Structure 1
Amino acid sequence: MGGLSSALLLVIFLAAAGVIWGAGVVLSDATDVLSRRLRLGQALSGAILLAVATNLPEIAITTSAALAHHVDVAVGNILGGIAIQTAVLALLDAVGVRPRRPLTRLAASPTLLIECALVVALLLVVVMAAQLPGSVIVARLTPGVVLIGLLWIAGLLLVRRARRGLPGPGGGAADAGQPDAGDGGGGGDGQPDAGNGNGDAGTPAKRARLARMGTRRAALIFVVGAAATLAAGVLAAVSGQELFGRLGMSGVVFGATVLAAVTALPEVTTGLASTRLGDYRLAVSDILGGNAFLPVLFLLATVLSGEAVLPRAHPTDIYLTALGGLLTIVYLVGLVFRPQRQWLRMGPDSIAVLVLYTVGVAGLLLVPS
């Protein structure tokens, strides 16, 4: 795209972002149907189906960068994406939740706590692996990426186990009385929260339409939406890197900020669609599941490039890794304490995340790349 004008590059970039936005809506609807038909539950479907589909742009970017042996942008996009996607939860809290309750109160469940812990654990492994020498690689694999892959699989198994119920202090299930959001469930404390599961005025009609949708049709819509997300993600990455490179932005900073924001659009659209259906756990699990899946792409990048990717991480990448972990811990605390009060239509955890993210991004400018 080097021969195209900056104006045309901007049009392509914005058009790709628009396709990513629109595809997120149909992906959310299809996932809602598939999760019910396949009995996956909101948390597990968010951790698998939506997490993979909404991260298709990152998969495409990582693949192309690894094959070209230019992984700097991919590394920044993956780690910057975790931080910005966590901040998306604050947006969903502010504009997506209909009841006057914080998002973490409506969505709270042990499965989401496990997903938060999994994200933090994976980010810690990323930091550890980044300190190893690049020469530690056997059969196109490094110890760090292998551990990331195994840890992700183990995390999914724990989420599945938690969905069936965890032992409580009195011998009962810790998750008892907490049906999945959207199924008439409450706010995670066994008590129904006002308005939860009702969504907006159009939700009953939309739920009826989704109930009539066949499983094959939902699967087809899911595949088409995923393909559109994948293609648009590639266009956004290529056109954006060329455009913002002309404006003097380095590839590392571009991948961690602008590109991360664009590739987070599927999470925004699917999250908003899920919250408007009252599927609050699906909305939160989509974000957390996607954040847990992103470090797995380092395994893909290492296999494709034949290089130790994580030891090549810049100081800005490690900085963003720590920022993503910090924001995740804030929401982990929110899911434990389930705050009741809101300010500016947000829970205190979302406000804290917005402040920390803003300060963190400002601090990114001071970190040597």
Structure 2
Amino acid sequence: MMEIPATSLIQSLAFFMLSAGCVWIAGARLAYLADTLADRFKLAKSLVGLLLLSLATSLPEVATTLTAAIQQSRDLVLNNLFGGIALQTAVLAMADFWARGPITNYPRKANHALEATLLVLLLAVTLVIVNLGETLVVAGVGLGSAYIAVIYVGAIWLLRRYDDSSDWVPVDLPDPDSLAFPAPTGLAETGNSSLIWQAVASCVAILTFGLLLVWFADRIADQSGLGTGFVGVTLLAAATSLPEISTSIAAVRIGAYTMAISNIFGSNLIMLVLVFPADILFRSGPILQNTSPMVSLALGFGLIVTAIYLIGLIVRRKPRIGVFGLDSIFVLITFLASLAAYYYVR
């Protein structure tokens, strides 16, 4: 990690907020660009969200995770990765505020239910491996982390193969309000090459300012005295999840609901598979061995919020409280409970 000039706590907070604003703007722009490119090249928006948008918005997590692994910081790697899962899922709950009804009412295919199911599977497998403590180790790398990578590859293959399938179709769907198409992004007249270059520039901005967010979050952890464990699972996870937050909210505001859902589930899958390259770089033993209680808590809360949305995707007509679906309310409550739990075991 490169050296940055010394700053006071107030200055660190100010630079953190400035970087957050830049990431927010770049993430929102990337959502508009991805939506327009999906229309131009006739790609399913759920697929664009799962494979393109989730990977682009996960760039800060990738850089942070691998850097922390090289620095042999097990807690920072795992708390950052797993702590962001419940947070990013809570983003979908907050997105109900901008959606025309509960966001889980909109998918017309079973893709998103399959995404959530595979995410539950991967979270459960990771939780089991964490509690077993990596009983099989080869060259300092736990076979459990390799198994997680294999499941991830299989999950992406299955989701890609299933994308064009119509062997399961939900019925009795609520009728969503009509949307303005093409989405009002101001990109209708922009050429394809310009769209692609703007998307690349947005990705570079997300990576650059995302890393600055991470650096200042780490500095705030030291200067505030809260410690890297609690900050890693809260502030740092929020910092690296900010691209997913901004892109998802922007996608919902232009009516690209399926892209927003796939972006979050896809990003959560990526955060789990990053355990494998982190384990390779972490040379102090298997990275999933001798973990803190906060790691198991983060995985458990990730399971809960994902399962809630899986239920929401299956139960199409559900009660609402104001603009929020009942599933989103439960996800927000669970996320707030997770923050209290993290503080308790810090």
| TM-score of the aligned structures, taking structure 1 as reference length | 0.86
1:93 aligns with 2:96: yes
* Cα distance change, pair 296–157 in 1 and its aligned pair in 2 (3 A): same
1:354 aligns with 2:325: no
Amino acid paired to 1:283: A
* Deviation for aligned residue 1:2: 7.1
Q: 1:193 aligns with which of 143, 156, 175?
A: 175
Moved more, 236-245 or 14-23: 236-245
Distance 2:174 2:300 in 1: 36
Q: Kindly indicate whether the alpha-carbon contact (under 8 Å) linking 1:34 and 1:215 is maintained by their aligned counterparts in 2.
A: yes
Q: Secondary structure in 2 aligned to 1:212?
A: coil
Q: Partner of 1:104 in structure 2? A: 104
| TM-score of the aligned structures, taking structure 2 as reference length | 0.92
Q: Kindly indicate whether the alpha-carbon contact (under 8 Å) linking 2:27 and 2:202 is maintained by their aligned counterparts in 1.
A: yes
Q: Partner of 1:185 in structure 2? A: none
1:331 aligns with 2:319: no
* Deviation for aligned residue 1:324: 0.7
Deviations 1:239-287 (A, max 9, x none): 1211232211110110101111222221221112111221111111111
Q: Partner of 1:308 in structure 2? A: 286
Q: Secondary structure in 1 aligned to 2:321?
A: coil
Q: Kindly indicate whether the alpha-carbon contact (under 8 Å) linking 1:62 and 1:71 is maintained by their aligned counterparts in 2.
A: no
Q: Kindly indicate whether the alpha-carbon contact (under 8 Å) linking 1:33 and 1:213 is maintained by their aligned counterparts in 2.
A: no
* Deviation for aligned residue 1:58: 0.9
Amino acid paired to 2:300: A
TM alignment of 1:259-274, pairs within 5 A: 259-274=236-251
* Cα distance change, pair 320–303 in 1 and its aligned pair in 2 (3 A): same
Q: Kindly indicate whether the alpha-carbon contact (under 8 Å) linking 2:217 and 2:239 is maintained by their aligned counterparts in 1.
A: no
Runs of 5+ in structure 2 lacking a partner? none
Runs of 5+ in structure 1 lacking a partner? 168-173, 176-187
Q: Partner of 2:80 in structure 1? A: 77
* Deviation for aligned residue 1:38: 4.1
Deviations 1:9-59 (A, max 9, x none): 122111111111111111112211333344431111111111111111111
* Deviation for aligned residue 1:233: 1.6
TM alignment of 1:273-312, pairs within 5 A: 273-306=250-283, 307-312=285-290
Distance 1:14 1:54 in 2: 18
* Cα distance change, pair 190–31 in 1 and its aligned pair in 2 (3 A): farther
Distance 2:288 2:227 in 1: 19
Distance 1:47 1:205 in 2: 20
Q: Partner of 1:179 in structure 2? A: none
Q: Partner of 2:13 in structure 1? A: 10
Q: Kindly indicate whether the alpha-carbon contact (under 8 Å) linking 1:113 and 1:335 is maintained by their aligned counterparts in 2.
A: yes
Distance 1:77 1:12 in 2: 20
Q: Kindly indicate whether the alpha-carbon contact (under 8 Å) linking 2:26 and 2:203 is maintained by their aligned counterparts in 1.
A: yes
TM alignment of 1:30-179, pairs within 5 A: 30-94=33-97, 96-97=98-99, 99=100, 101-107=101-107, 109-133=109-133, 136-139=136-139, 141-167=141-167, 174-175=168-169
* Deviation for aligned residue 1:121: 1.1
Distance 2:39 2:182 in 1: 16
Distance 1:34 1:141 in 2: 39
Instruction: Report how many residues are paired.
Output: 342
Q: Partner of 2:223 in structure 1? A: 246
Q: Kindly indicate whether the alpha-carbon contact (under 8 Å) linking 2:9 and 2:224 is maintained by their aligned counterparts in 1.
A: no
* Cα distance change, pair 134–111 in 1 and its aligned pair in 2 (3 A): closer
* Deviation for aligned residue 1:163: 1.7
Moved more, 290-299 or 306-315: 306-315
1:219 aligns with 2:216: no
TM alignment of 1:219-238, pairs within 5 A: 219-238=196-215
* Deviation for aligned residue 1:152: 1.3
Q: Kindly indicate whether the alpha-carbon contact (under 8 Å) linking 1:136 and 1:308 is maintained by their aligned counterparts in 2.
A: no
Amino acid paired to 1:111: N
Q: Kindly indicate whether the alpha-carbon contact (under 8 Å) linking 2:133 and 2:288 is maintained by their aligned counterparts in 1.
A: no
